[in-house]
Amino acid sequence: MWHQKQVKESEFGEMHINLTWDELHERFGFDLKTWKKKFSDYLMKHPGEPDMISAFFRFGNDRINPLLNEVLGRSSGYPTFNRLTTYVAKKH
C-alpha cells in the first residue's frame, strides 16, 4: 500500500480523508464537490478495493498526485499526495 511508506495505518483513519480534502481545498483551491464526486465515481468503478482508506490513497496517487506535482513544479514521481496525507495525519 502506498500510504504505509509515509503514514502508519493506525495514524490515518477515515476521518483523515475529510481532513485531507479540506487541506486540498485550502491550499490548492480544490473544488470539493467536484473532487468528492470523482472519488465517489472511482469507488463505484472499483468495488474490489479492500477499504475506503486504500481506495483513497490509490485515487489520490493516480488522480491528485500528478496535478499537485504539476502545480508545484515537481517531478512526476514525487510522492506529494503521500506527503500531504502524512502532514494531515500528524497535524490532527
Residue 31, SS3 per DSSP: coil
According to DSSP H, which parts of the chain are helical?
A: 14-28, 32-45, 52-59, 65-72, 80-91
| pLDDT exceeds 60 at position 2 | no
- Segment 2-8 shows an average pLDDT of 50
pLDDT at position 8, please?
A: 57
- Segment 66-76 shows an average pLDDT of 96
Report which of 26, 25, 44, 45 is spatially closest to residue 35, judged by C-alpha positions. Answer: 25
Question: What is the spatial distance between Cα 76 and Cα 13, in angstroms, rounded to a whole number?
Answer: 27
Residue 41's φ and ψ, nearest 5 degrees, are: -65, -40
Residue 6, SS3 per DSSP: coil
Bigger pLDDT: 75 vs 9: 75
Quickly state the pLDDT bin for 6 (edges 50, 70, 90). Answer: low
- Segment 24-46 shows an average pLDDT of 96
Q: Residue 35, class by beta-carbon neighbours within 10 Å (0-12 exposed, 13-18 middle, 19+ buried)?
A: middle
| 26-35 per-position pLDDT tens digit | 999 999 999 9
| Summary mean pLDDT of the chain | 89
Q: What percent of the chain has pLDDT over 70?
A: 89
